[in-house]
Amino acid sequence: MTIESPALYVVPTPLGNLGDMTQRAIEVLREVPWIAAEDTRHSGALLKHFGAKGRLLAAHQHNEEGAAQQVIARLDAGEAVALISDAGTPAVSDPGARLVARVRAAGHRVVPLPGPCAAVVALSASGLVEPNFLFHGFLPSKAKQREDALRALAGLPYALVFYEAPHRILETVEALATVFGPERTLVMARELTKLFETIHSCPLGEALEWLQADANRQRGEFVLLVSGAPETSDDGEGERVLRLLLAEGLPVKQAAKLAHGITGAGKNALYELALSLKDS
């Protein structure tokens, strides 16, 4: 393979198993004279392993604008550059999107390579059957913002995909159960492609206990997937009754409970709706 020059190649790298590097990714990394990396020290071993010899440029979240200028200068000089992040696909909950935007705006070609992405890998083995999914990535670390972000997603009929680090896994799972209710399915996909890969599904209401039963279950990197809000055969009846009850001055919780009892519409969805109606 001979790479085209000038062009920016966006190159996914393995999530853990080096065997997941594609042939094309290896060839691109071997041929490009420049490699923009999220962490040049971290990527050193990987690049050495695959025989990449290009010179390294740092392209992390704190210097993306500067890195973009450096990359564009190399492209202007007629050279090819590869962009990699620490693991997985650049620009997906990783630095790279701004750099790519700048390079495209400068009129240069951007060539994306398919490859590992934790969200897609987890989704493929999740068993969630929704035809649509929404990739959210990381949630805010502060409790209030996290809950607000979850509330905004609660009524969507899509499978929801989150990234989470081990030190926040318990509080995030607790927040998911609080906002989405105990019945929706949670899939915890941990250490994908690595030795201790675990993919566990359970109702949200049982997830915290499962995690706490063994500290090892809380270790490593996680993709969390939640089944979509259940479809209701509501036809707007639940919302109509809910609005009437709220207008009569009933508290949010009671109004949602009654509207659910009267119409059979989803209780959690009604509760979330009641909250948002109350806010507006």
Residues that bind ligand SAM (CB under 6 A): 15-16, 85, 87-89, 92-94, 117-119, 163-165, 189-194, 221-223
How far is residue 103 from each of residues 3, 57, 64, 145, 234, measured CA to CA in Å?
A: 17, 15, 11, 33, 48
Distance in Å, CB of 23 to ligand SAM, minimum: 19
Nearer Cβ to ligand SAM (118/273): 118
Least Å distance between CB 116 and ligand SAM?
Answer: 6
CB of 191 or CB of 234, closer to ligand SAM? 191
Alpha carbon distance 228, 145 (integer Å): 21
Strand 110-112 with 133-138, pairing: unpaired
Nearer Cβ to ligand SAM (103/123): 123
The one-letter amino acid at 32? V
**Distance (Å, rounded) from C-alpha 152 to C-alpha 256?**
17
Q: Which is nearer to ligand SAM, 64 or 221 (CB)?
A: 221
Judged by beta carbon, residue 10 or residue 246, the one nearer ligand SAM is 10
Question: What span, in angstroms and rounded, lies between the C-alpha atoms of 234 and 263?
Answer: 7
Those residues with Cβ within 8 angstroms of residue 262's Cβ, 6 or more apart along the chain or in another chain: 241
State the DSSP string of 17-44.
-GGGS-HHHHHHHHH-SEEEES-HHHHH
The Cα 74–Cα 81 span in angstroms is 7
Pick 33 or 137: Cβ nearer ligand SAM: 137
Could you tell me the smallest distance in angstroms from the CB atom of residue 220 to ligand SAM?
Answer: 7
Q: Is there a contact between 234 and 259 (Cβ–Cβ < 8 Å)?
A: no
Do the beta carbons of residue 48 and residue 151 sit within 8 Å? no
Nearer of residues 60 and 243 to ligand SAM, judged by Cβ: 60
Quickly list DSSP for 54-117: PEEEE--TTSHHHHHHHHHHHHHTT-EEEEE-SSB-TTSSSTTHHHHHHHHHTT--EEEPP---
